[in-house]
Chains A and B, each alone.
Chain A
Amino acid sequence: MTAPTIDATADSPLEGRLNRRAPLLRQGWQELVEISRFRPLVHHLVSSSLRTENAGTVFGFLWWLLDPLLLMVVYVFLIDVILRRGTPDYPVFVLTAVIAWTFFAGATRTSIGQTLAKERLMRQVSFPKAVIPLAATTAEACHFVFGLAVLTVFAIPFGIVPHPVLPFVLVVAAVQLVLTLGVAYLLSALNVFFRDTQHLAVYFFRLWFYLSPALYALADVPPRFRDVYALNPFTTLFTSYRAVLIEHTLPDLSALALVAAGSVLVLVVGYLFFSGTEHLFTKLI
């Protein structure tokens, strides 16, 4: 019976791969290459979630339209009709924030849910787990782009006609995409270890929404709180969306650049946390 050891002197092409521990940057690059190799998987996950999410409902794809509009109706009723704090274009004003926030909160929620739902699969197939939050966020981004199109049409009766500055909204959306993906990675990984995350996130996000100038303008915020508000990326994001979509001006670019830099940082931290802990996902349960 031979001892269970291997012959270390033997020369083999595999041997070369065996001892090489890639440095961090190189390893990160290899991970990105691997994720991009799985682009078809992202594509299939996105298209399957878009096709099946409203299966069995009477309105089907109409829900893409109804979801933000019904939410807007609730807020308009509350703020404009009951509290009488609205302005003539308040429906457009609040719909802008609702659509953007739905993207952020929805992408995070589905990322958390899908990462858990795919746990059984993770223990049977080897694939880069980072594609799951990426696909969930991409699917929500599709809703968001659709919502923006609806918004521009919805705004016309309010006297807000499409303007050449409109395409700039995609720059703001790109910044939000980076931030959203970062938060989705962070919370998805955290939730695998602490399932409480998904419950806490619901309340945390609700509070965050109300503390952001979504239902009200930044100008309505008492001046002594403005500095604190400036720390919230959604202050800049909501204000930027409204500048482009409603006021037809370029947003405050220095504030947006700052949020963009912060969002990149969140994405790097979120992704590193996810990729650093993903090998433990299959060891849980």
Chain B
Amino acid sequence: MREERPDAIIARDIGVRYDLRLTRHRTIRQTVAERVRQLALRRTANGVPATRTEFWALRGVSFRLASGEVLGVVGRNGSGKSTLLLTIAGILRPDTGFVTTAGRTATLLTLGAGFEPRLTGRDNIYLNGAYLGFTHRKMDAIVDEIIEFSELGTFIDAPVTTYSAGMRARLGFSIAAFAEPDILLLDEVLGVGDAAFQHKSRGKMRELMERASALVIVSHSTDFILETCTRALWLDGGTAMAYGTPDEVVAGYTESVRRSRGPIRTVFDGAR
């Protein structure tokens, strides 16, 4: 019953493996090790016990998203939702399978990540644009819009070190918003700046969502998924539990959350 629209994203059998021996920063290592221990207790969804040296953040995930669709990804913490976004964005290379996208992808995670504090806001707009692969000419064309949207006024020619956290976030959002990706990837819908700017950024976000050829949104809010998305994907332990209409997928997910509440508590009680 699928309409004949071109594909925006095809993911086939993607798996992302973390080699725990390569992970050295203690806090994260502990986090991942913790996760592995949980997995070893529960076993992964496909019945393979996780070993201590590797951890599959995603395993055998396949889906196909037509352009014009909005995909919502649901799942518990650590189910691989963010890993999936990073893989679609091309930041993580899948260890198995393939993912292809039609057009440029961008995450709004990027807010101000590439700022060079000693450069001015204006220089940082150009630098950020360069990270996104834009030419100088393209940036010349949009730099004024970005500055206006950020409401930084004359501060734009002051070094970014002198900015408050809110000013940085506003500049970061403005750059990301005017980058206009074909496929927009959102990890939770975020609020930036004061109430007025939040209102404005939400408006801009809606505009981006309308203009992008496809969207992938990770959210804990099932209501948001039901409202906004046209497709939904449920991840658990790195594997896809269901892919389909938001109604069906969210129903399955909430049912499983309800059912699993008891057993998890028992495990913790037993450990104490």
Residues on A lying within 8 angstroms of B by beta carbon are: 1-7, 10, 12-15, 17-19, 37-38, 40-41, 43-45, 48, 51-52, 55, 120-127, 193, 279-280, 282-285
B 19-70 contacts with A by CB, 8 A:
19, 22-25, 28, 61-64
Interface centre among A18, A19, A40, A279 (most CB of B within 10 A): A40
A2 to B101, CA, bound (A): 22
Q: Give min CB distance, B212 to chain A, whole Å.
A: 16
Q: Give min CB distance, A275 to chain B, whole Å.
A: 12
Which residues of chain B are near A40, meaning CB under 8 Å? 129-130, 134-136
Stretch in B141-149, B190-198, B239-247 with 4+ CB within 8 Å of A: B239-247
A92 to B57, CA, bound (A): 59
Stretch in B84-92, B220-228, B264-272 with 4+ CB within 8 Å of A: B84-92
Per-residue CB contact flags for chain B residues 113-135 toward chain A (1 = under 8 Å, else 0) read: 11010110001001101111111
A1 to B250, CA, bound (A): 10
A121 to B113, CA, bound (A): 6
Q: Give min CB distance, B207 to chain A, whole Å.
A: 22
In the complex, whether B110 has a CB less than 8 A from a CB of chain A is yes
A258 to B11, CA, bound (A): 48
Which residues of chain A are near B22, meaning CB under 8 Å? 193, 280, 283-284
Q: Judge whether A12 and B133 touch: CB under 8 Å.
A: no
Contact pick for A124, options B6, B18, B113, CB 8 Å: B113
Q: Judge whether B118 and A52 touch: CB under 8 Å.
A: yes
| Interchain residue pairs A-B with the least CB separation, the first 4 | A4-B240, A41-B130, A126-B90, A279-B93
Q: Give min CB distance, A19 to chain B, whole Å.
A: 7
Q: Judge whether B113 and A4 touch: CB under 8 Å.
A: no
Given A14-B102, A126-B90, A126-B91: A6 touches B114 (CB 8 Å cut-off): no
A18 to B99, CA, bound (A): 7
A283 to B126, CA, bound (A): 28
Which residues of chain B are near A12, meaning CB under 8 Å? 6-7, 10
Q: Count CB-based A-B contacts (< 8 Å).
A: 121
A to B CB contacts below 8 Å, 13 in the list: A1-B252, A4-B233, A4-B241, A6-B63, A6-B64, A18-B10, A45-B127, A52-B116, A52-B119, A125-B132, A126-B91, A282-B92, A285-B24
User: For residue A126, which residue of chain B has the nearest CB?
Assistant: B90
Q: Judge whether A283 and B92 touch: CB under 8 Å.
A: yes
Q: Give min CB distance, A216 to chain B, whole Å.
A: 40
Contact pick for B61, options A4, A18, A48, A121, CB 8 Å: A4
Q: Judge whether B127 and A44 touch: CB under 8 Å.
A: yes
Q: Judge whether A14 and B62 touch: CB under 8 Å.
A: no
Interface centre among A4, A18, A124 (most CB of B within 10 A): A4
Q: Give min CB distance, B253 to chain A, whole Å.
A: 11
Interface size class of B (residues with CB under 8 A): 35 or more
In the complex, whether B100 has a CB less than 8 A from a CB of chain A is yes
Q: Judge whether B23 and A284 touch: CB under 8 Å.
A: yes
A239 to B47, CA, bound (A): 65
Contact pick for B130, options A3, A38, A124, A285, CB 8 Å: A38
Residues on B lying within 8 angstroms of A by beta carbon are: 6-7, 10-12, 18-19, 22-25, 28, 61-64, 86, 89-93, 98, 100-102, 105, 107, 109-110, 113-114, 116, 118-119, 123, 126-127, 129-136, 233, 240-244, 248-249, 252
A280 to B19, CA, bound (A): 9
Interface on chain B toward A: helix, strand, loop, or mixed SS? mixed
A223 to B5, CA, bound (A): 76
User: For residue B234, which residue of chain A has the nearest CB?
Assistant: A4
Q: Judge whether A125 and B114 touch: CB under 8 Å.
A: yes
User: For residue B57, which residue of chain A has the nearest CB?
Assistant: A283
Given A12-B6, A124-B107: A2 touches B23 (CB 8 Å cut-off): no
A2 to B252, CA, bound (A): 12
A1 to B133, CA, bound (A): 39
Q: Judge whether B100 and A18 touch: CB under 8 Å.
A: yes
User: For residue A40, which residue of chain B has the nearest CB?
Assistant: B130
Q: Judge whether B100 and A125 touch: CB under 8 Å.
A: no
Which residues of chain B are near A120, meaning CB under 8 Å? 113
A3 to B239, CA, bound (A): 12
Q: Give min CB distance, A129 to chain B, whole Å.
A: 11
Q: Judge whether B24 and A284 touch: CB under 8 Å.
A: yes
Given A4-B243, A6-B64, A284-B24: A126 touches B89 (CB 8 Å cut-off): yes
A40 to B140, CA, bound (A): 13
Q: Judge whether B91 and A121 touch: CB under 8 Å.
A: no
Q: Can you name 17 extra interface pairs (CB under 8 A) apart from A15-B10, A48-B116, A52-B118?
A: A1-B248, A2-B243, A6-B11, A40-B136, A41-B130, A41-B131, A41-B133, A44-B126, A44-B127, A121-B113, A121-B114, A123-B86, A124-B91, A124-B114, A125-B91, A126-B90, A126-B91
Q: Judge whether A55 and B113 touch: CB under 8 Å.
A: no
Given A1-B248, A14-B102, A17-B100: A51 touches B109 (CB 8 Å cut-off): no
Which residues of chain B are near A41, meaning CB under 8 Å? 130-131, 133
Given A12-B10, A41-B131, A283-B22: A18 touches B98 (CB 8 Å cut-off): yes
